[in-house]
Structure 1
Amino acid sequence: MTTQQDRSHHLVDALATPASDVVPHPALDVAAPPRARRQGLDKIVFGVTALLAVAFLVWGFVSTGSLADASGRALSLVMDDAGWLFVLTASGFVVFVIWLAASRFGEIKLGRDDEEPEFRTSSWVAMMFSAGMGIGLMFYGVSEPVSHLVTPPPGTGGADGAQAVQHAMATTLFHWTLHPWAIYAVVGLAIAYGVYRKGRLQLISAAFEPLLGRHANGGWGKLIDILAIFATLFGSAASLGLGALQIRSGLRIVSGIGATGNAVIVVIIGVLTVAFVLSAVSGVAKGIQWLSNINMVLAVVLAVFLFVVGPTVFMLNLVPTSLGSYVQDLPMMAARTGAEGTKTKDWLGSWTVFYWAWWLSWTPFVGMFIARISRGRTIRQFVTGVLLVPSLVSVIWFCILGGAAMNLQKTGTDIAGAGALESQLFTTLDAFPMAKVASVLVMVLVAIFFVSGADAASIVMGTLSEHGTQEPSRGTVIFWGVATGAVAAVMLLVGGEDALNGLQSITIVAALPFVVVMVGLAVALVKDLRSDPLMVRRKYGEEVIEAAVIAGVTEHGDDFVLSVEPTDATDPSPAAAPQVSP
């Protein structure tokens, strides 16, 4: 019993140890103090990534054709040799975060044990949703369901009628519900846990301390942060490019100016880049939260408008149909790879693998952003909120916008053949009352999504460039904001007439190195959680109770009780150890 009493005594000392403001370790003897952060710019991380960004921009503007050729060859290589990696890891992250939430780790808080959430749930959901996929929902809300309806995805047998609608919606939800948010959740959990529970710096590299030890603060850590900035730059630029394409399409339709060239896209990107730089330097509370809440209201207005004037009953029927089809088709969709043939490989490059690469490239900034706004929530609350709430909103969104478009397509209005993907939403709106007003609303929504998403991205890239500070300097934020807009313009120019193809190709290639980082991050997080104070406390408690029960049965048979009693301070016996009484 001496060993057991020693363990219990250590537990009492641990519980009596004051926790620091940032890092509570109530079951350990000494609470680690918050890490000291170096001030100013990380010259290596910022210098290398800035140099790469500038080199890419020079290459793109000076020799667009050669960059287009290089990106095309790189895309073919990635799809041939690593397409399976995107498919496997994306589904793996879904299983991983659900397991974390359902396991004993789900009770761990992202902060002190007694800490309350920093933001209200409504604002929390609005901010992470707007930053996570705002522009994409506007761009693909109509175009993806209609595209899959007209051209059924591989493996669906070329179904038509009701089955074609089901497969189209199932594929759309596969790309927009659990998978992207599970990918975001991995980074969000790792960063929030490390910063608010362990007192680490707000860096992707800091989350690797359980695996790399001191090397996480050295060369390997800098490489990880460089890859994170690089992925963020191209992932957010892809989103800005989609937004610019859709705004240009809206201007054509609303103003009747006719065909426009790439110069208009560059001007649109320039104007919106100035807007999001101004928003970014105002900070999270004043900038992103304000814009996110406005966008949520406008998005609801658009959805309600289409729900009322559109085929309401068809949309309502589509909700259970889509969910059932998604569950039924999920194994087939998750297993679809380039091994099924060239046609499937090309399709994956335009849809599934592009999406997984896009989400992966967004994880550094979306993950760090939702980590920053999720302090005080448990892992179970975090995963539940991040996984289910945006997924449910996506289901409703696609059933309304996609349902309106598919109903028009089935009844004789050719939405799919009316123009490029970015114009199909406007073509759909044109079939309903107040089309011009609704189209202007769409452009405003896209512009604000553009600003709020790029806002968050430039702040996070600034954070990674300045040793993890939560308030990067304005100069750094402005640099990354301007760089993101410029990269978006180059990516569009690389695609030529098919600007979307340029966005997709470069996004997939740029995201590949970060897949490996994400896998390592998941492993490091589990290793961290196993030594969490709550886990240590539970282990101590189980040992104490088990030893006490053994002692009670040995000394008294079945006739004993366990109780916790105070003791004299001079008494060497542990104050919180269970006492065995006959």
Structure 2
Amino acid sequence: MLQSLHDKMGLRTSPTIFFGSILFAAVFIALTLAFPTTMSTTFSKGSGWIIANLGWFYILGVTVFLIYLVVTALSRFGRIRLSPHDEPPEHSFLTWFAMLFAAGIGTILMFWGVAEPVNHFANPPMADVEGSSVEAAREAMSFTLYHFGLHTWTIFALPSLAFAYFIYQRNLPPRVSSLFHPLLGDEGIHGPVGKAIDIIAIVGTLFGVAVSIALGTLQINAGLSAVLGIDQTTWSIIAILGVVTLLALGSVIAGLEKGIKVLSNANILAAVVLMLFVLVSGPTLHLLRGTIEGAGLYAQNLPYLAFWNDAFDDNPGWQDGWTIFYWAWTITWSPFVGIFIARISQGRTIREFVFGVLAAPVSFSIIWYGIFGFASFDIIRNGENGGELVEAVAGENGDAATALFEFLAHFPLTTFMSVFSIVIVAIFFVTSMDSASLVMDSMARGHDEDERVPVYQRAVWALLVGIIAAVLLTASPDAGITALSEFITIVGLPFFVMGYLMMWALNRAMREDAGELLPLATKQWRKVLPPEEVERRRDEGDEAWATTEVEYDPHYSTSDGQVIAAPETAAYERHDLIEPDEPHPADQVVGSSRLNGSTDGKDI
């Protein structure tokens, strides 16, 4: 039935994963709208139990992931190049940084750049210092950078590295199930277990991005209210989401090079202009000194905060509503960011990949929060009507969505810069929806060859994200967003479990593949496609060879022109070096292990 519907719609994907993900999302939305109180109560109890009993597991998990990444990058495995045949990186460092930043937490920086430091400044997390004091400012910066520094990017970097390795080194499909190939095997990743993993990953991405889009919509609406006096209404929310979704659809149709890449470069430049405006217009010397001091505070307090569990608070503590939710929320859409970063990172070594993904965005985050955070502190402590900023953001009726615009009211060119900020937020959300759509479609279909895929198939995901955000914000805003947030906290649990399995699988694969010779040589693997895609190509008369099982490519060319051959044994215990003009041993192989090959290994 699903296959018949799939074919009638002209799709080119996995029917089970595609329709299963959409059905799961539709059922959740329908139940939330039909029974908001029941759903809210159910997810509240579930998330409450997880936070109370397993919050420590979330805190420990991200720290363990960070340690694993650093150790792996510094080990001999750090020399492995994440590309099939030692190709150089596809994108320059600046373009690479702009794309991964815009698709990662660019939206979060715009939303929380002022709101987070002000909240912690007014209400210190550890409740051990007086609010709005110098000590509170130091604590606020430490926690803000903890939340949006190394730990957040670790949640993105671990699946990104695993995706890059299994996609480019082992030629497996760009799906979460592929990361568990050493555990599940060929049949497992294509079977019910693998499909269930992929459906959970896509659903988590849908809901995680929907929360971001919903928050961004509220921030854009707050900006329009400050500039044009447009109040938040059902129609204003629908209009904002409609415009953002249409722009995302246009970017999806344009593709990676003309869509996401162009928008990302423009957006990061615009964000830098906004940051420099605050730096120059504000107390410049104080902000520069504060940014440097903030980096020192972060480095000083990170070892303690990385393991802090609010253990001396007998009641549910501050951390439950902040750190644990952040980690659970972030990890649910880490598959989307992970595959996207892997896709734009082909050709980089593991060491370059890990330190690039961790160091570059974190450095920018330190500067961003240093400037916006210390500028906020200065307004509150020394500016006129500084208390209004605290009241608007962290007061009894405070709203984080208004924080940036309340902040800009204390600077020159308020109206212009507010409009400029609205545009930045909108483009950040367009790139997030665009890249999420691209990745969810890749996960559903199981391959990256976009030219074979109808454009409207990719557009479905951007449209669905926009619809979910609109329904949650307009039909039942309080129950909907609350239920979704609590749902994500619950979904985050299996993602953390998968994170530990991911480390084991990646380490197992690298140990299996890595040789002992220098430069470090790694085995090469034939391209793997989902079974339905292989059958589809055979029906189309495509002679290109493809497999549903991981099979070792018996020879391949290295970057220095040498041809490396491995004996046709199960253990693959050694590599033989063959001169390029000598007959290749693999040419003598007959049977299924030698199909459509060539002596340079590039036609396979």
Q: TM-score range by the shorter chain?
A: 0.7 to 0.9
Q: d(CA) in 2 for partners of 1:539 and 1:447? A: 44
Over alpha carbons, which structure has the higher Rg?
Answer: 1
The aligned counterpart of 1:320 is 292
The aligned counterpart of 2:587 is none
TM-fit CA distance, 1:298: 0.7
**Residues 495, 503 of structure 1: 8 Å contact kept:** no
**Residues 240, 488 of structure 1: 8 Å contact kept:** yes
The aligned counterpart of 2:243 is 271
The aligned counterpart of 1:20 is none
Secondary structure of the 1:376 match is coil
Relative to structure 1, the CA distance from residue 491 to residue 102 in structure 2 (aligned partners, 3 Å threshold; closer, same or farther) is farther
TM-fit CA distance, 1:319: 1.7
1:360 aligns with 2:334: no
TM-fit CA distance, 1:155: 6.1
Secondary structure of the 2:333 match is helix
Q: Which moved more, 1:386-395 or 1:331-340?
A: 331-340
**Residues 496, 502 of structure 1: 8 Å contact kept:** no
Q: d(CA) in 2 for partners of 1:75 and 1:489? A: 24
Calculate percent identity across the aligned residue pairs: 37
Q: d(CA) in 2 for partners of 1:175 and 1:90? A: 11
TM-fit CA distance, 1:45: 1.3
Q: Which moved more, 1:320-329 or 1:144-153?
A: 320-329
**Residues 242, 466 of structure 2: 8 Å contact kept:** yes
The aligned counterpart of 1:261 is 233
The aligned counterpart of 1:108 is 80
TM-fit CA distance, 1:160: 5.5
Secondary structure of the 1:531 match is helix
Relative to structure 1, the CA distance from residue 309 to residue 500 in structure 2 (aligned partners, 3 Å threshold; closer, same or farther) is farther
TM-fit CA distance, 1:140: 0.1
**Residues 159, 335 of structure 2: 8 Å contact kept:** yes
CA RMSD for the aligned pairs?
2.6
The aligned counterpart of 1:555 is none
The aligned counterpart of 2:111 is 139
1:541-552 pair list within 5 angstroms: none
**Residues 43, 486 of structure 2: 8 Å contact kept:** yes
Q: d(CA) in 2 for partners of 1:209 and 1:194? A: 9
The aligned counterpart of 1:308 is 280
Q: What TM-score do the two structures reach when normalised by structure 1?
A: 0.82
The aligned counterpart of 1:227 is 200
TM-fit CA distance, 1:305: 0.6
Q: d(CA) in 2 for partners of 1:473 and 1:349? A: 43
TM-fit CA distance, 1:79: 1.1
The aligned counterpart of 1:409 is 380
The aligned counterpart of 2:500 is 519
TM-fit CA distance, 1:366: 0.5
**Residues 141, 297 of structure 2: 8 Å contact kept:** yes
Relative to structure 1, the CA distance from residue 111 to residue 535 in structure 2 (aligned partners, 3 Å threshold; closer, same or farther) is farther
The aligned counterpart of 2:219 is 246
**Residues 306, 401 of structure 1: 8 Å contact kept:** yes
Relative to structure 1, the CA distance from residue 446 to residue 236 in structure 2 (aligned partners, 3 Å threshold; closer, same or farther) is same
Relative to structure 1, the CA distance from residue 482 to residue 316 in structure 2 (aligned partners, 3 Å threshold; closer, same or farther) is same
Equivalent AA in structure 2 for residue 264 of structure 1: S
1:72-471 pair list within 5 angstroms: 72-112=44-84, 114-154=86-126, 156-158=128-130, 161-214=133-186, 215-257=188-230, 259-337=231-309, 339-341=311-313, 345-412=316-383, 413-414=386-387, 415-418=389-392, 419-471=398-450
**Residues 80, 349 of structure 2: 8 Å contact kept:** yes
The aligned counterpart of 1:544 is none
Q: Which moved more, 1:426-435 or 1:352-361?
A: 352-361
The aligned counterpart of 1:483 is 464
Relative to structure 1, the CA distance from residue 386 to residue 368 in structure 2 (aligned partners, 3 Å threshold; closer, same or farther) is same
TM-fit CA distance, 1:523: 1.0
Equivalent AA in structure 1 for residue 329 of structure 2: W
Relative to structure 1, the CA distance from residue 264 to residue 66 in structure 2 (aligned partners, 3 Å threshold; closer, same or farther) is farther
Residue by residue over 1:78-130, the C-alpha shift from the partner in whole angstroms, topping out at 9 and shown as x without a partner, is 21232122111111111111111111110000014641100111100000000
TM-fit CA distance, 1:498: 9.2
**Residues 241, 503 of structure 1: 8 Å contact kept:** no
Q: d(CA) in 2 for partners of 1:535 and 1:231? A: 40
| Aligned mate of 2:36, from 25, 49, 64 | 64
Equivalent AA in structure 1 for residue 363 of structure 2: L
**Residues 135, 242 of structure 1: 8 Å contact kept:** no
TM-fit CA distance, 1:356: 0.7
Equivalent AA in structure 2 for residue 465 of structure 1: A
TM-fit CA distance, 1:490: 4.0
The aligned counterpart of 1:21 is none
**Residues 169, 322 of structure 1: 8 Å contact kept:** yes
1:492-511 pair list within 5 angstroms: 492=473, 496=477, 501=482, 504-511=485-492
Q: d(CA) in 1 for partners of 2:479 and 2:118? A: 19
Relative to structure 1, the CA distance from residue 399 to residue 338 in structure 2 (aligned partners, 3 Å threshold; closer, same or farther) is closer
Residue by residue over 1:329-348, the C-alpha shift from the partner in whole angstroms, topping out at 9 and shown as x without a partner, is 223322232544365x4522
Equivalent AA in structure 2 for residue 321 of structure 1: E
Relative to structure 1, the CA distance from residue 449 to residue 231 in structure 2 (aligned partners, 3 Å threshold; closer, same or farther) is same
Equivalent AA in structure 1 for residue 493 of structure 2: L
Q: What TM-score do the two structures reach when normalised by structure 2?
A: 0.79
Q: d(CA) in 2 for partners of 1:220 and 1:315? A: 52
Q: Which moved more, 1:286-295 or 1:74-83?
A: 74-83
**Residues 146, 298 of structure 2: 8 Å contact kept:** yes
Residue by residue over 1:173-198, the C-alpha shift from the partner in whole angstroms, topping out at 9 and shown as x without a partner, is 00111111112111111111112122
TM-fit CA distance, 1:491: 4.0
Query: Gaps spanning 5+ residues in structure 1: where?
Result: 1-38, 542-563, 571-582
Equivalent AA in structure 1 for residue 119 of structure 2: S
Equivalent AA in structure 2 for residue 139 of structure 1: F
Relative to structure 1, the CA distance from residue 168 to residue 431 in structure 2 (aligned partners, 3 Å threshold; closer, same or farther) is same
Q: d(CA) in 1 for partners of 2:277 and 2:319? A: 33
Equivalent AA in structure 2 for residue 510 of structure 1: V
TM-fit CA distance, 1:449: 0.5
Q: d(CA) in 2 for partners of 1:74 and 1:473? A: 40
Q: d(CA) in 1 for partners of 2:223 and 2:480? A: 16
**Residues 273, 482 of structure 1: 8 Å contact kept:** yes
Equivalent AA in structure 1 for residue 152 of structure 2: P
**Residues 40, 467 of structure 1: 8 Å contact kept:** no
**Residues 84, 338 of structure 1: 8 Å contact kept:** no
Secondary structure of the 1:73 match is helix
**Residues 251, 259 of structure 2: 8 Å contact kept:** yes
**Residues 202, 470 of structure 1: 8 Å contact kept:** no
Relative to structure 1, the CA distance from residue 349 to residue 296 in structure 2 (aligned partners, 3 Å threshold; closer, same or farther) is same
Equivalent AA in structure 1 for residue 407 of structure 2: T
**Residues 182, 509 of structure 2: 8 Å contact kept:** yes
